[in-house]
Structure 1
Amino acid sequence: MTATFDFKGFAKDLKKQAEQVMPEDIASEHKKEFLDRIYDFTYIAGEAFSNDDTIEDADTARALTQVISEWTFHKYVDLLRSDIPKMYHESILQKVAYVAFEMGKESEFSRLTQDQMLTLVEFQTRKAYEKACQKLLENGQISQEAFDKAMNLSNVDEYSTDKLCHNVKIVKNKKSTLPFTLTALVVGLLAVGLNIFYKDAPSLVIVNTFMVMFLSMFVGIYVGAQIFGK
């Protein structure tokens, strides 16, 4: 099942939001190219998540798309303010977006909480950005000064949390434990009934042992699901 949503309309909406919050220096010199690139990266990410069988619902696909869009926003601001030539911006942003995409999928697969997902994506996108710039430095395509300046720029840290992707809400679909609870209840009642009506039966010891093992397994699975399944 694919989590289809209107990624084209969503990309347009985020492009409008980006226009409202983009820094003045970027807006005055790079507005069109900046917004067009935000739209393109959001559109591509949205299309990929929308058609991905591992993403369960449209809300999750939309939220993960927004995370990529906003990290593209912040790292593109850093690039435009740096001394790294424009010819390298696209490839750096592609590497950052790819890592964010993979981490988003990994977070969903591992059932991470929203905060855990955001932390993972942030750590890995920063790392991918630095690695991409480091590669340019090693190849002699940028100077040490340009690299250092790029590393010291961090537009994301200049924004308050209400402007970052921390306002993304991902609703995790929790599987109901009701069927397992009812099964355990039936088994428990059956055990009580057997002990009442067949208390002298020789095989009751074996039955009771099985019942205790079953109920112990259920308790372990239930507790584990409550702790690690959130």
Structure 2
Amino acid sequence: MTVRVLLADDDALVRAGLALILGGSSDITVVGEATNGREAVETVRAGGVDVVLMDIRMPVMDGIAATAAVLALPAPPRVIVLTTFDADQYVVRALAAGATGFLLKDTPPADIVDAIARVVTGEPMLSPTITEQLIRQVTDAAPDGRADEAVARVAGLTEREREVAVAIGRGSSNAEIAVALHMSVATVKAHISHIFTKLDASNRVQVAIAMHDADLL
């Protein structure tokens, strides 16, 4: 199935560049462009969009507000926040708004295409540098005893689950984990489900933070 992508960015050159990059993939079709967040929301509301590449700083409505508005719609698409800004507050706000991915605009073209393929299946996607920043932000502000709590939670993982959790913390995709650990993608997904439950995590970033706190990354 072809993934239908909406480009939301107020810079025409950026939109043109993204369209050129995505046009090289037979599995992706750019179905529209928006110059601000409000246009993005209206386009998504009209239907026919699977993934939105959303800039953060746009006029009329910024990308964070637009992400929240898009995801409040019935059967919303996935949203990847694509920006030149890697400041921590943007990462946290984008994730809080419900973004499935966060990539910098200097991300290699092949990785942008890969991110779209991953998020459309429900798999979150963050640049490794973004994950590292988020982990650092959270752990730097963490109260004493956080490491001990993480070690206790991680102790409940099986050896295999711990290997998968470490791979998640390093930013590996389900497919990459499957190859590295010699298991099927379905088995990886089953392990991840168990990991989320045991670590009381709702996303991969929280798993990465727990593994970092337990000194396993």
TM-score by length of 1: 0.26
More strand by share: 2
Query: Which is higher, the Rg of structure 1 or of structure 2?
Result: 1
TM-score by length of 2: 0.27
